[in-house]
Amino acid sequence: MSGDVAITLRNVVKRYGDHEVLRGIDLDVRHGEVTCLIGPSGSGKSTLLRCVAFLEEHDAGIIRIGGAPLGFDERPDGSRIRLPITEIARVRRNIGMVFQQFNLWPHMTALGNVAEGLRQVLRLHKREAHDRAMAHLTRVGLAERASYYPSQLSGGQQQRVAIARALAMDPKIMLFDEPTSSLDPELTGEVLNVMRDLAAEGMTMLVVTHEIGFAAHVAQHVVFLDQAQIALEGRASDVFRKPWHPRMAQFLETYLDRGASVLLGN
């Protein structure tokens, strides 16, 4: 396996009862790249991301984070073993996750949310955790909101705090699950800007998004999921400029109808 691959999926299958939500996904996410997962709703993109976070347990196949198997490993004879919980936690330490619903803890201030992992998991002293949390809030432009509770922040601000909370743990990979889907249109920009800065700093990012403009401009790698499978993937420019795949063309048309003229440039 090549050393520049951050996440590898091989033949990953996820089922809910009889329903196959992921049908044998093969995917490589390279270090330092932004990979966007796009596709119609119900195509399995969020499930795929949640499997990479091990919030959903895949039913078959293998997921590797920086080479280490996540959750399950395969023996040479092909049988599958569940890894111990400490091993899952160790591998997951490489991953930060940002959710559609922000999921900030309502009983803690913005600063408290960011400092929680530093205090409880990294066991930093109060002073140091505070300083590092402040630095991360500053990075997302919210230093002056440090003492606010989530209920006192706008959706965009909450999502930026959530990004700071994930970054504070110093992850090698950031997962974003439709980070702007529950935001008013005028608030998506501030979140996308933070993500753009993060991409420019070379963070490895796997992003489930409906923001086709973001995918077209920021992603190096675009993966189009349809009906629980990868229908099309490649460099962003190739995928968007030549939507030869009929489902992809259909999918993009709905965005063009909504005025996503960004794709028509050049």
Partner 1 sequence: MTWIHVYLLAVGAVVTAGLSVVSITVGLAIGILVCAASLSRAAPLRWAARVYVSFFRGVPLLVLLLLIYHLLPQIGIDVPGVVAALVGLTLCTSAYQAETLRGGFVNIAPGLVEAGRMIGLNATQLLVRIRAPIALRLTLPALVNEGIMILKASSLVSVVGVGDITRTAQNLSSSTYRPIEMFATAGVFYLLLNVIVTRGGNGLGRLLGLPRT
Q: Which residues bind partner 1 (CB under 8 A)?
A: 53, 55, 89, 92-93, 95-97, 99, 101, 103-109, 116-117, 120-121, 149-152, 162, 165-166, 169
What CA–CA distance (Å, rounded) separates 7 from 9?
7
Nearer to partner 1, 75 or 123 (CB): 123
Least Å from the CB of residue 117 to partner 1: 4
Least Å from the CB of residue 106 to partner 1: 6
Least Å from the CB of residue 31 to partner 1: 20
Nearer to partner 1, 6 or 232 (CB): 6
Least Å from the CB of residue 99 to partner 1: 6
Nearer to partner 1, 54 or 240 (CB): 54
Per the listing, tokens 């023996």 go with 75
Least Å from the CB of residue 52 to partner 1: 11
What CA–CA distance (Å, rounded) separates 238 from 76?
38
Least Å from the CB of residue 242 to partner 1: 36
What CA–CA distance (Å, rounded) separates 79 from 64?
17
Nearer to partner 1, 65 or 236 (CB): 65
Nearer to partner 1, 98 or 222 (CB): 98
Least Å from the CB of residue 233 to partner 1: 26
Nearer to partner 1, 93 or 245 (CB): 93
Give the 3-state secondary structure of the chain: CCCCEEEEEEEEEEEECCEEEEEEEEEEEECCCEEEEECCCCCCHHHHHHHHCCCCCCCEEEEEECCEECCEEECCCCCEEECCHHHHHHHHCCEEEECCCCCCCCCCCHHHHHHHHHHHCCCCCHHHHHHHHHHHHHHCCCHHHCCCCHHHCCHHHHHHHHHHHHHHCCCCEEEEECCCCCCCHHHHHHHHHHHHHHHHCCCEEEEECCCHHHHHHHCCEEEEEECCEEEEEEEHHHHHHCCCCHHHHHHHHHHHHCCCHHHHCC
Q: Under 8 Å CB-to-CB from 213, ≥6 apart: which residues?
A: 260, 262, 263
Nearer to partner 1, 61 or 150 (CB): 150
